[in-house]
Amino acid sequence: MHIERLHLRLIRLPLVAFFETSFGRVYDKTFILVTLEGEGAQGLGECVADVDPYYSSETNTAAWHIIKDFLAPLVLGRSFRDPRHLFPALARVRGHNMAKAAVEMAAWDLAARLQNVPLSRLLGGTRPAIPSGVSIGIQDSLEQLIAKVETELAAGYRRIKIKIKPGWDVTAVEAIRTRFGAIPLMVDANAAYTLGDAAHLSTLDRFGLMMIEQPLDYDDVRDHAELQRRIATSICLDESIHSVRAAEEALALDACRIINIKPGRLGGHRESIRVHDLCAARQIPVWHGGMLESGIGRAHNIHLASLPNFTLPGDIAASRRYFSPDLIEPPIEVSADGLVAVPLGPGIGVNVDWDRVEAATVETCEIRA
């Protein structure tokens, strides 16, 4: 695959409802869409960096600079026999995994289109549909939270995740258990606690949660290992798993029993597959996280989540939970039994509505070999 042109678009889309985590509330989503062109075809990648460096250190402004000034020169005018060769070709640039992932994933889409196969085939996907869960943000009241859970269960989603923070944790979980009983339920703290909160976090043990996601600091492994020794609920790591090596260290230290895979955080599909395979070899289940992606990034996630060790329902829900309309037509839907079908067309296999993309674009940049 010869890469001849790279195009960047900064896109802003309103969210259908605000989304609040322990690090803040957002009303819209701004992201970079990367197009790679070569041999008469195009591949698309969506950068999951945010406006603010609050989930991770990466931002859209930083990613734009890194892609334009450092990653583009490493791929333009070059030929790659296999999209697996992209990530190593970007290794001179330290960090910036979300910027790298956007370029790497566009190359995977381009490779799959050139071979006229669905992306899942190239990635090693084995399942025609994936189990879907939802991530419900912090609400203004317990009544609103209960109403949201009710809506999502009725839609068929296979597990509920709620965002927690100090002051919105035990009471929220208790309210859900009281109203809905033994539904598949988990919590995500986005690093809002410290090891000093271990006794408090252990009070969640009585609720039989599937897991608690990233309770401690965003780059911590050691304290999570200590916390896992002190609580019964399984820890799942998200933010801390930024590389294959970080995953190896977390598993070696028993810092978690489950891992959340996000290709943006790991540098793309190749590194995600490596973490997937590492976990499979150690009987550690994985699931696919979400970053409020548009239908383009969401489609990439669906293809990746079709690999066999993504056994737990992921944060990959229907388009309509986030964007109305989405950038793709038809949008991604969930079936009444909580499954999302893996697209069958070439590449990511979704149909982009370019008029909507144009209307939502606030800045562009084109670079040629």
Catalytic residues: 163, 262
Residue 315 site contact among Mg ion, ligand NPQ, none (CB < 5 to 8 Å, cut-off depends on kind): ligand NPQ
**50: contact with ligand NPQ by CB under 6 A:** yes
**332: contact with ligand NPQ by CB under 6 A:** no
Quote the least distance from Cβ 113 to ligand NPQ, whole Å.
Answer: 27
Q: Which of residues 234-253 bind Mg ion (CB under 5 A)?
A: 238
Q: Which of residues 155-214 bind ligand NPQ (CB under 6 A)?
A: 188, 190
Q: Which region among 45-53, 75-83, 230-238, 247-255 touches Mg ion (by CB under 5 A)?
A: 230-238
Quote the least distance from Cβ 286 to Mg ion, whole Å.
Answer: 13
Quote the least distance from Cβ 214 to ligand NPQ, whole Å.
Answer: 7
**309: contact with ligand NPQ by CB under 6 A:** no
Angle (nearest 5°) at CA 105 between 104 and 108: 95
How many whole angstroms separate alpha carbon 139 and alpha carbon 206? 23
Which 3 state secondary structure label does DSSP give 8? strand
Tell me the number of residues near ligand NPQ by CB under 6 A. 15
Quote the least distance from Cβ 238 to Mg ion, whole Å.
Answer: 4
How many whole angstroms separate alpha carbon 307 and alpha carbon 296? 19
Site string for ligand NPQ, 130-149 (x = CB under 6 A): -----x--------------
Gap between the terminal Cα atoms of the chain: 14
Quote the least distance from Cβ 26 to ligand NPQ, whole Å.
Answer: 5
How many whole angstroms separate alpha carbon 67 and alpha carbon 44? 14
The answer to whether 286 touches 313, Cβ cutoff 8 Å, is no
Q: Which of 46, 188, 220, 326 binds Mg ion (CB under 5 A)?
A: 188
User: Given the structure tokens 């989503």, which residue do they identify?
Assistant: 29
CA dist 118 to 34, 35, 38, 343, Å? 19, 18, 18, 7
Peptide bond into 118 cis (omega under 30): no
Residue 109 site contact among Mg ion, ligand NPQ, none (CB < 5 to 8 Å, cut-off depends on kind): none
Angle (nearest 5°) at CA 182 between 225 and 317: 75
The answer to whether 308 touches 288, Cβ cutoff 8 Å, is no
**293: contact with Mg ion by CB under 5 A:** no
Task: Name the packing angle between helices 269-281 and 244-252 (round to 10°).
Answer: 20
Residue 104 site contact among Mg ion, ligand NPQ, none (CB < 5 to 8 Å, cut-off depends on kind): none
Quote the least distance from Cβ 167 to ligand NPQ, whole Å.
Answer: 18
Residue 135 site contact among Mg ion, ligand NPQ, none (CB < 5 to 8 Å, cut-off depends on kind): ligand NPQ
Q: Which of 321, 307, 242 is nearest to 29 (CA)?
A: 321
Residue 50 site contact among ligand NPQ, Mg ion, none (CB < 5 to 8 Å, cut-off depends on kind): ligand NPQ
Residue 290 site contact among ligand NPQ, Mg ion, none (CB < 5 to 8 Å, cut-off depends on kind): ligand NPQ
Which 3 state secondary structure label does DSSP give 250? helix
Is the Cβ of residue 111 or residue 204 nearer to ligand NPQ in the bound state?
A: 204
The answer to whether 1 touches 38, Cβ cutoff 8 Å, is yes
Q: Which of 19, 64, 157, 322 binds ligand NPQ (CB under 6 A)?
A: 19
Pinpoint the alpha helices (H) of the chain: 60-66, 72-75, 86-89, 97-114, 119-123, 142-155, 170-180, 198-202, 222-230, 244-252, 263-266, 269-281, 295-304, 354-360
Q: Which of residues 285-304 bind ligand NPQ (CB under 6 A)?
A: 289-292
* Positions that interact with Mg ion (CB under 5 A): 188, 213, 238
* Positions that interact with ligand NPQ (CB under 6 A): 19, 21, 26, 29, 50, 55, 135, 188, 190, 238, 289-292, 315
